Amino acid sequence: MDDKIKVSVIIPVYNAEKFLGECLDSVLNQTLPDIEVICVNDGSTDNSLKLLQEYAGKDNRVIVLNEKNCGAGISRKKGLDITRGEYVAFVDADDILDKNYCELSYGNASHNHADMTFFRVKYFTTDKSRITYPGKFNLKTEIPDNTNYDNYTFTWNTIPSLVFNRFVNIWSRIYRRQFLLDNNFYFPEKLSFNDVPLHVESVLTANRISFVDEVLYSYRLDNPYSITEKSHTNRKIFDFFKIIEHEQHYLEDHGLDQILKNEFTQMKIDHLTYHLSTINKNETRIGDEFHSRVKQEFQSMNLTEKEFKLLPHQFAANYLAVMNSKFFEDYFNKQEHYNNCDVEYEFKKLEESKSTLFKVKNKLKSILK
């Protein structure tokens, strides 16, 4: 580790020339100058590499790695392998940092000897017509009032919802570099939603987590070239099932599958129905296939009545809409219906129908014998 470098900023870049300059300017204009900026060009076919090289020529803190396309996960890992800073930040190439991002997050993290330090974020659209401050990114609501954040740490046991239901990304915090290297976390190759494993596994492993009560990161909502946006218009959306399977195995291997069953269930319902809703309604073939896979996943949960009652109303309504719909378009009609229903009563009806069907199947089997 280079004692002069306090924060290493890693930016995976793929065809990001439209927003890349704005992102890099926000990183290089930090009030904390002791940083390095590692940009990993992931096989871009636009002018991203040329722009990166121009910035590197003007500021020796910028390091450019030019790689073949391997996905954001592996790009981040390649960047991490050459970092020299005490802490590491993962930044998307279309987002913007507050000028105090590094100074405030590093100051809190180093003072608390934290493995990771969260902060608040905001969402924005390019034309600034929409700026929101999502409450799910404000840990202040989970921490005791009058807390001195410069002298306060916690673990996932304090806030179990932190593992799955709130911050399933890697850009809403900075990490202690040695913590990442020591634990060799999973960076999926060429998978969308590749930040989920690192988020889940690092939160569950961290011994000291801290929080800065400031909005330090601005997340762009309307980049049509982003991996997240593209995953909703092609088959990359199915990658989420591979991510779920990986996390299921991770929880089982670490004896956490029952302890975090409710949180994991809610994450699956929330994210899978969200991704279902983002598929273009004209893409009925992909929509029907994804709907079928989601329904299979929900069926495999085998939710009990007690577990169902723990779901927020919207999650419960979405669950029922999937389970009681036959295809993609039908889901949206059912969703509107169950949003205005007594979901617990509807769940009982669903279970009764499943029980009746089971009895009928068994009776047919006995007759055929």
CA distances 297 to 95, 178, 241, 310, 313, Å, are: 33, 36, 9, 18, 19
Listed in order, strand segments (DSSP E) in the chain are 7-13, 35-42, 62-67, 87-90, 96-97, 116-124, 131-132, 173-176, 209-220
What lies within 8 Å, CB to CB, of 230 at 6+ separation is 192, 224, 236
- Tens-digit pLDDT profile for the chain (369 aa)? 556 999 999 999 999 999 999 999 999 999 999 999 999 999 999 999 999 999 999 999 999 999 998 889 999 999 999 999 999 999 999 999 999 999 999 999 999 999 999 999 999 999 888 899 887 778 888 999 999 999 999 999 999 989 997 678 999 999 999 999 999 988 888 788 889 999 999 999 999 999 999 999 999 998 755 544 444 457 889 999 999 999 999 999 999 999 999 999 999 999 999 999 999 888 999 999 999 999 999 999 999 999 999 999 999 999 999 999 999 999 999 999 999 999 999 999 998 887 665 545 555 666 665
Helix (H, G, I), strand (E, B) or coil at 96: strand
Return d(Cα 259, Cα 103) in angstroms, integer: 36
Q: What is the DSSP letter of 5?
A: -
Return d(Cα 330, Cα 333) in angstroms, integer: 5
What amino acid occupies position 106?
A: Y
**What angle, 0 to 180 degrees and rounded to 10, lies between the N-to-C axes of helices 239-253 and 195-205?**
20
Q: Which residues pair with 39 in a beta bridge?
A: 11, 64
